[in-house]
Amino acid sequence: MSAVLGDYVESTQGRSGTPNGNTYFDTAAGKLEFYLDTEVAQVDYGSGLEANKLTASNRPTLATLYAFERARRELNTTLRGFDLFLDGKYKRAGAYNFVNGRTFATLAEWKNVDASGWNEIDVSKVIQKSIYGAISLGNIEATSQPFYSFADGVPIDFSRPGPVSEGVVVYTNGGADDRAVFNIGVRTFGYSFSSKSLLDLPYSTTGADIGGFAITEAEKKWITAAGYTFDSVYTSPVAPFDGMTFAKLGSAVLRTGFSGADKEFTYVMENTGGGTVQEVMAKFDAMSATDDNINTATGNDSSVIHGKRESELYSVNADGKMVTKVFIKNLPASESQKIIFIADDATECTYAYYPIVEIAVGASAKVDPKAWYSVYYKDGAGNADFNKSGNVIVKDKDGADVTGSVGGTDISFPYDFVGNVQAGLPADTDKVMIVEVEGNGITTSAKTEFIVKKQDVNSVTCAPVAEDNI
């Protein structure tokens, strides 16, 4: 909320004295002062002292300060004898000018101005500064720290956390001219990142006006649910985050193991603790939320890479898979289908799909030293069916037959879903299988039909009962 005209009371003294209002026109120094309730708690609105209405949530705008000056010059004949402080430029864009060499008294003042942009023009009508009023239009949490940057990409925090409505110097006469590039963003660990630039607005430069940027953030509930914190992931990392380091290598390295051709990657993430895809994403989020140098490479490519200045290190596609140009080492096999790598030549690289088939064999089979198991395709091409002479035993991802002794444990094997063409069946399709578990003396026999689907784990029970016939 912004202040309205009735929220202002002219003071007869400035900070150097004892303010008796919340706005002071220092005609001698050419400075405009205003005071929020944290500085001047009470003012007289006409019926005795009451709470100052200028607050952190009800801040002045140049539009109402302009109107207040006009209102005071109508009634305060002394003020009429001095040059104006403010001149209107374009009301609907929140654009005004400080004229005649007038300015705000302190930096804190113009940082507390809401929804406004302005020029500071000297007595010779030369613009000395242009202040751009940046405004965020989406949700930003009250504790999140938004930032902005110019062409050099160096992030500069806004003066307060939470939603943005603040003036930024974009031009200084004889100094920097940053009107051509303006970026705004918010990166808070545990929330989605968001950034916008002038390219998202219908004009190509900033200036003494306002601009609204649709940056917004939302809680990443998977981070909250997992209990990850910025400290445990980044500042004082615990396992497996303490084994994750990012590097840009001096020359690309050929990576293998994909379902397609081997490909080169320049970026790599060490993952000595075998962190999951979700844990790697959390580490990437933490690195991208800081302006630290996240590149641990040494030697011929030890370039500085500031996390907050770079594009996000990953995205999540419509299937919920992580997509990244960073090759991640030592991922658990069970995580292989949760990630898509983008190689240096922009090729998508995925691992072959090896869903795990888990077979629960039951208690009696586990204690029978003669118990065995075998897995077959139910209906193959031609004679390759179970219960026919051409029956085919299923092979695991390494080409080994899925058959053997139970050995006191449940059975588990990885299946090459996208590559297996046994029994004349097409690859990358659901397969109907038969599992037999049979003992001799302690457990009986069982046969179970099940389907292996394209999912991380396929579970089936084939548990013969205890033998009481021998």
Do both 410 and 361 map to the same domain? yes
Q: Are residues 330 and 418 in the same domain?
A: no
- Asked whether residue 416 falls in the same domain as residue 323, the answer is no
Residue among 201, 164, 311, 198 nearest 156 (CA): 164
Q: Which of 168-177, 276-285, 364-373, 414-423 has the lowest mean pLDDT?
A: 414-423
Quote the longest CA-to-CA distance of the chain. Answer: 118
pLDDT, one tens digit per residue, over 186-213 is: 999 999 999 999 999 888 899 999 999 9
- Residue 73, pLDDT above cutoff 90: yes
User: Which of 349, 383, 405 is where one domain is finished?
Assistant: 349
Domain that holds residue 435: 356-461
- Residue 363 shares a structural domain with residue 340: no
Residues 288 and 339 in one domain: yes
Q: Does a structural domain hold residue 54?
A: no
Residues 234 and 333 in one domain: yes
Out of 24-28, 107-111, 128-132, 461-465, least confident range: 107-111
Say if residue 381 is in the same domain as residue 448: yes
Residues 382, 325 within the same domain: no
In a domain, 237, yes or no: yes
- Burial (CB < 10 A; 0-12, 13-18, 19+), residue 78, is exposed
Q: Is residue 318 part of a domain?
A: yes
381 and 344, same structural domain?
no
Number of domains in the chain: 2
Residue 298 burial (10 A CB sphere; 0-12, 13-18, 19+): exposed
In a domain, 44, yes or no: no
Final residue of a structural domain among 309, 332, 349? 349
Q: What is the 3 state secondary structure string of the chain? A: CECCHHHCCECCCCCCCCCCCCEEEECCCCEEEECCCCCCCEEECCCCEEECCCECCEECCHHHHHHHHHHHHHHCHHHHCCCCCEEEEEHHHCEEEECCCCEECCHHHHHCCCCCEEEEECCCCCEEEEEEEEEECCCCCCCCCEEEECCCCCCEECCCCCCCEEEEEEEECCCCECCCCCEEEECCCCECCEEEEHHHCCCCCCCCCEEEECCCCCECHHHHHHCCCHHHHHHCCCCCHHHEEEEEEEEEEEECCECCCCEEEEEEEEECCCCCHHHHHHHHHHHHCCCCECCCCCCCCCCCCEHHHCCCCCEECCCCCEEECEEECCCCHHHHHHEEEECCCCCEECECCCCEEEEECCHHHHHCCCCEEEEEECCCCCCCCCCCCCCCECECCCCCECEEECCCCCEEEECCCCCCCHHHCCCCCCEEEEEEEECCCCECEEEEEEEECCCCEEEEECCCCECCCC
What's the mean per-residue pLDDT of the chain? 95
- pLDDT value of residue 93: 61
Domain assignment of residue 174, yes or no:
no
pLDDT tens for 399-421 read 999 999 999 999 999 999 988 99
Residues 238 and 292 in one domain: yes
pTM here is 0.80
Given pLDDT bands bounded at 50, 70 and 90, which one contains residue 245?
A: very high
Indicate if 363 and 453 belong to the same structural domain: yes
Inside any domain, residue 328 = yes
Of 316, 349, 382, which one is at a domain's C-terminal end? Answer: 349
- Is residue 246 one of the residues assigned to a domain? yes
Residues near 284 by beta carbon (within 8 Å), at least 6 away in sequence = 312, 313, 314, 324, 326
Q: Distance between CA 93 and CA 88 in Å, rounded?
A: 11
Q: Is the pLDDT of residue 1 over 80?
A: no
- State pLDDT tens for residues 430-463: 999 999 999 999 999 999 999 999 888 999 999 9
pLDDT tens figures, 143-175: 999 999 999 999 999 999 999 999 999 999 999
Note whether residue 123 is domain-resident. no
Please tell me the predicted confidence (pLDDT) of residue 456.
84
- pLDDT value at position 108? 87
Residue 249 has pLDDT above 60, yes or no: yes
Same domain as 307, residue 386: no
Percentage of residues in the chain having pLDDT higher than 90:
89
